[in-house]
Amino acid sequence: MNICGRKASRLAKAATFLVILGMLLALANAVLTPKWLTGLYHSTYTVTGFYNEPRKHIDVLFLGSSRIECSVSPLSLWHAHGITSYSLATPLQSPLVSYYYLREALRYQDVQIVVIEPKLLYREQAVDEHEDSYRNTLDYMPLSLNKLRAAADIVSYSQSQTLLSYALPLLRYHSRWSNLTAGDLQLNLVQEHSLKGFVPVYTKLDASAPQDDEESDTLSFTPFGEDYMNRIAALCKEHGVTLVLVQPPDIVWNQGMSSQIDAWAASWDLPFVDYNTPENLAALDLVEETDFFHPSHVNIRGAEKLTAHLGDYLAEHYALPDHRGDPAYSKWDTDYAHYMQQKASRFGLSSS
Amino acid sequence: MPFTSFAFILFLAIVVTVYYVTPKRWQWVILLVASYVFYLFAGARFVPYLVFTTLTTYGAAIRLDRINKQYNAQLQSPAHELPREDRKVLKIAAERRKKRVLTLVLLLNFGLLAFVKYFNFIGDNINALLADLGAGAAAPQLGLLLPLGISFYTFQSMGYIIDVYRGKYEPERNPAKLALFISFFPQMVQGPIGRYDALAPQLAAPHSFDYERAKQGIQLIIWGYFKKLVIADRAAIFVDQVITYYTAYTGLYIPIAIILYAVQIYTDFSGGIDIATGAAQILGIDLAANFRRPYFAQTIAEYWRRWHITLGAWMRDYLYYPLALSKGLARIGKWLRKKVNNRFGVLFPALMAEAVVFLVIGIWHGPAWKYIAYGIYYGLLIVLGMLLQPLSEKATAALHIKTDCFSWRLWRVLRTFALTCFGRYLTRAPNLGDSYQMMKLTVTEFNPGILLDGSLYTLGLDAKNIRLLFAAILVLLVVSILQEKGYHIREKLQEQNLVFQWAIMLAGIFAVLIFGTYGSGYDATKFIYELF
């Protein structure tokens, strides 16, 4: 073999080796990355389901913490008004994550309204203390400039995390090798979220159980929270997207926060639907014993009430298209029917 | 930029790419720039130390050469043919001038090393002594930070200047090339301590990319990471836990931790050297070997010929021989031969030289009494070994012990390993008092039950990690045995089918990536967030 031929052969060998290495790295990443499917919240499905939605099909996007995740049912919104929506709210969501998921949503969907929980204004960055709340949403975000920028922002606040570990999660999770279970080997995760990101909770408030909150109520925005909420507001403005602030009901809500959020909303000329005001609470007709499963989280009964009210509000104030009857959206009807079945069976089981 | 960082791998990849696309005559410049960039990552404040050593070494070497040339010119000039006596005077004068230059440069550089490394240690001891005498603290404490690799590059450059002084080779006339010899980045952090005649020509020579060589270099780097991240850093978790709280972990815990520490320090140091050697190999440069399976040594003297070989060789050439062959020690030896004992007299210069060498090795290891004790310990072992050798041979013969068999060699290997482990009590404990306590607690408590009741799994490494550690040590042992039998593993690997070669390389890469001890770890309990 001449020199050129030998060089080409070696180049081909090296390239093949690198391809195999890349494939094995992808496999190791898939196995070692946590599936985030324990407990109530299945953030992985929320994220993979979002990316599996047909492009330009979602008109309303929900962002925020588990309060939003448990409060708004996109399928009920569909059934009542034909509005297509998706909830990308995740447990203890950081406004940093909300911001970058908004950027992603604007890439994939033609979003007209973004509904966000304004309590994110009070969120501390806590990138290391609550690393899980960042990882469980970013781990399954496909590699993109937005993901890298989100990771770079996180790393800038972190004492221990690296940018590379977001591109190659194996570097973060490698020590899980000793705790792997059969579930970790399940690589073809469900790609759809049939409830469009909604987490229905069928339990009721247990007054005797100790209730913890993720943060103490405070009367000052954090610089971190305000910075990212300002970015979100600016991005919506830039893209001509309507931003609506919706704060779900909270039994122990500090009314001082409502005034502060009102002021911030006014500064951006944003509507604020506060479900902690006496009027809105009365309109929802929530019953503490049956409509909450936690002092700051409604269960499915509360969620249905809140979704119905919010749907009326959105339909009344914004000219959102009604997609019912459109064959391109027929799957929404199927998903709604499944949701009804699931609800019926769960209520049947717990009909007490 | 630690070797174990991604930044280093990226840095190496960039350097290798730029190096091989640069015209060959300028490749050495790329290495020099890369070396200084590497050093800048450690901290710009350390660069002046490196520049100081480079400039003083360069200036001294040129000055030594000028003295030699002047002397030769005076001798060879036919117009000034000198009588023998005058020639002798000229020679003595030249030697004296050379010695003055050498002494000055040695004092400057070893003085700088001693200053940054030992100033606070000496000050501490003076203050402690004054406190004992009832006086207040007198010696100030300086916030000195040890420049990266100063112990290594100082020894490397001083070895060069001594060789120039001895006329072993001509001095380097290009200061930038000398700067590269002193700062070559792969060996900057922890050696090996290179010799000018072996390393400098390679650094200056043009290199074409060699696929097979690069592949072998990468394999060596992976092996180095395996030793460092899979074995050393994992063993360190166990060792640190036991030694930090040794009063709680008495009896067998301590010798187990010490044996693991022996493994840890070997795999840590030799792993780093493998990474350095592999990196240099990709660049077409061979570094000196620094380890040759030291725990297979049958005597302590042999152990030191296998452990940190380049430091041992440096000590042999620049300290041991000058001392052992010095006129003063020869005179004392002669006197002892007549007055005390012939054999002792013959051995005396070597014994004294060994004792001094190991004292210096101890001091070189760090500014603490425990390292000085460590040096004295090995000095004593070597001296006693030399003195008692005839007695040992007689006893072996009298007891009809077979010495040409595996069991005898195994016994000697285990004995030597045990002696080195004893030395680790001195260096791993925080100080000499703790060393003594650890030794005492090793023998005053008897708790073999910990080997069976799972207690060993509670010291930072769970059962799976302990098993993994032992499996990795077993891999190291098998590889070491094969190497000891003369089996060149990487060369043998080249002879195998491509699929097998790739399988081994991929296994190595993933062993490091998955089983390596790095990052902040994964705490499942911290990551299970239920409600919000």
ipTM for the assembly: 0.80
Is the pLDDT at B421 greater than 70, yes or no? yes
Distance between A92 CA and the closest CA of chain B, angstroms: 5
Distance between A176 CA and the closest CA of chain B, angstroms: 6
Smallest Cβ distance to A160: which of B515, B516, B520? B520
Mean per-residue pLDDT, B257-277 = 95
Nearest CA in chain B to A29: B514
Q: Which residues of A touch B526 (CB under 8 A)?
A: 131-132
Q: b/e map of A106-134 (b: 16 or more CB within 10 Å)?
A: beebebbbbbbbbbbbbbebbbeebbbbb
How high is the pLDDT of residue B71?
83
Which of A174, A184, A203, A211 best probes binding to B when mutated, by most B CB atoms within 10 angstroms? A174
What are A23's two structure tokens? 């494939």
Smallest Cβ distance to A179: which of B468, B519, B524? B524
- pLDDT tens readout for residues B494-524: 889 999 999 999 999 999 999 999 887 665 5
Q: b/e map of B268-290 (b: 16 or more CB within 10 Å)?
A: bbbbbbbbbbbbbbbbbbebbeb
Q: How far apart are CA B74 and CA B81, in angstroms?
A: 8
DSSP state string for B82-104: --HHHHHHHHHHHHHHHHHHHHH
Q: Which residues of A touch B504 (CB under 8 A)?
A: none
Whether B527 sits inside 8 A of A131 (CB atoms) is yes
Under the banding of pLDDT at 50, 70 and 90, the label for residue B531 is very low
What are A133's two structure tokens? 């709340």
Helix (H) / strand (E) element for B511: namely helix B498-515
Is the pLDDT at B72 greater than 50, yes or no? yes
Q: b/e map of B375-402 (b: 16 or more CB within 10 Å)?
A: bebbbebbbeeeeeeeeeeeeeeeeeee
B516: left (phi over 0), alpha (psi -120 to 50) or beta: beta
Q: Quick one: which of B42, B36, B34 has its CA closest to B1?
A: B42
Torsion of the alpha carbons at B141, B146, B152 and B157, rounded to the nearest 10: -80
Residue B244, amino acid: T
CB atoms within 10 A of CB A23: 10
How high is the pLDDT of residue A185?
86
B353: left (phi over 0), alpha (psi -120 to 50) or beta: alpha
Is the pLDDT at A1 greater than 70, yes or no? no
Whether cis (ω within 30° of 0) applies to the bond prior to B192 is yes
3-state secondary structure of A60: strand
**Tokens 């380049």 map to which residue?**
B310
Residue A283, amino acid: A
Q: How far apart are CA B295 and CA B302, in angstroms?
A: 10
The half-sphere exposure of A219 on its side-chain side, counting CA atoms within 13 A, is 4
Q: Quick one: which of B225, B223, B152 has its CA closest to B187?
A: B152
Q: Does residue A280 form part of some domain? A: yes
Q: Which residues of B touch A173 (CB under 8 A)?
A: 522
Whether B531 sits inside 8 A of A133 (CB atoms) is no
DSSP state string for A70-137: HH--HHHHHHHH---EEE---TT--HHHHHHHHHHHHHHS---EEEE-GGGGG----TTTTHHHHHHH
- A:B CB pairs within 8 Å: 83
Q: Which residues of B touch A20 (CB under 8 A)?
A: 502, 506
Under the banding of pLDDT at 50, 70 and 90, the label for residue A27 is very high
Is the pLDDT at A213 greater than 60, yes or no? no
Q: Which residues of B touch A214 (CB under 8 A)?
A: 531-532
* Domain regions of chain B by residue span: 6-209, 221-451
Under the banding of pLDDT at 50, 70 and 90, the label for residue B344 is confident
Distance between B201 CA and the closest CA of chain A, angstroms: 28
Q: Which residues of A touch B498 (CB under 8 A)?
A: 13
Q: How far apart are CA A282 and CA B370, in angstroms?
A: 77
How high is the pLDDT of residue B365?
83
Averaged pLDDT score across all residues of chain A: 89
What range does the domain containing A248 cover? 36-142+186-349
**Angle CA A210–A212–A214, to nearest 5:** 170
Q: Quick one: CA dihedral B144, B149, B152, B153, positive or negative? A: negative
Is residue A293 within 8 Å of A205, Cβ to Cβ? Answer: yes
CB atoms within 10 A of CB A200: 19
Q: b/e map of A251-275 (b: 16 or more CB within 10 Å)?
A: eebeeebbebbeebbeeeebebbbb
Q: How far apart are CA A117 and CA A99, in angstroms?
A: 12
Cα Rg of chain B (Å, integer): 26
Whether A174 sits inside 8 A of B509 (CB atoms) is no
The contacts of residue A49 (CB under 8 Å, 6+ apart) are A86, A191, A192, A193, A194, A196, A197
Whether B462 sits inside 8 A of A178 (CB atoms) is yes
Which of A25, A175, A206 best probes binding to B when mutated, by most B CB atoms within 10 angstroms? A175
pTM greater than 0.90: no
Distance between B443 CA and the closest CA of chain A, angstroms: 35
Nearest CA in chain A to B461: A178
Mean per-residue pLDDT, B181-188 = 93
Whole-number Cα distances in Å, A220 to A124, A256, A262, A269: 11, 10, 13, 20
The DSSP bridge pattern shows strands A292-294 and A297-298 to be antiparallel
Query: How large a percentage of chain A has pLDDT more than 90?
Result: 64
The contacts of residue B376 (CB under 8 Å, 6+ apart) are B358, B359, B362
Q: How far apart are CA B483 and CA A109, in angstroms?
A: 61
Whole-number Cα distances in Å, B114 to A324, B61, B122, B306, B365: 83, 22, 10, 27, 12
State how many domains chain A has. Answer: 1
3-state secondary structure of B495: coil
Is residue B220 within 8 Å of B274, Cβ to Cβ? Answer: yes
Nearest CA in chain B to A133: B529
Distance between B529 CA and the closest CA of chain A, angstroms: 7
Q: Quick one: which of B152, B243, B209 has its CA closest to B427?
A: B243
- pLDDT tens readout for residues A149-187: 999 999 999 988 999 999 999 999 999 999 888 888 887
Whether A28 sits inside 8 A of B531 (CB atoms) is no
Is the pLDDT at A24 greater than 70, yes or no? yes
Is residue B157 within 8 Å of B53, Cβ to Cβ? Answer: yes
How high is the pLDDT of residue B521?
67
Chain A residues contacting B via beta carbons under 8 Å: 10, 13, 17, 20-21, 24-25, 28, 32, 34, 38-40, 65-66, 91-92, 130-133, 135-136, 160-162, 164-165, 170-179, 212, 214, 294, 297
The half-sphere exposure of B268 on its side-chain side, counting CA atoms within 13 A, is 14
Under the banding of pLDDT at 50, 70 and 90, the label for residue B528 is very low
**Tokens 């911001």 map to which residue?**
A99
- pLDDT tens readout for residues B378-391: 988 988 888 888 88
Nearest CA in chain B to A91: B532
CB atoms within 10 A of CB A224: 21
3-state secondary structure of A273: strand
Whether B527 sits inside 8 A of A162 (CB atoms) is no
Q: Which residues of A touch B502 (CB under 8 A)?
A: 17, 20
Is residue A219 within 8 Å of A260, Cβ to Cβ? Answer: yes
Q: Does residue A298 form part of some domain? A: yes
- pLDDT tens readout for residues B129-151: 777 777 665 666 655 567 788 88
What are A306's two structure tokens? 């809140």
A267: domain CATH number is: 3.40.50.1110
Helix (H) / strand (E) element for B198: namely helix B196-204
Under the banding of pLDDT at 50, 70 and 90, the label for residue B167 is confident
How high is the pLDDT of residue B94?
85
The DSSP bridge pattern shows strands A113-116 and A272-274 to be unpaired
Whether A38 sits inside 8 A of B211 (CB atoms) is no
Is the pLDDT at B307 greater than 90, yes or no? yes
Whether B211 sits inside 8 A of A10 (CB atoms) is yes
Residue B35, amino acid: S
- pLDDT tens readout for residues A186-195: 877 666 778 9
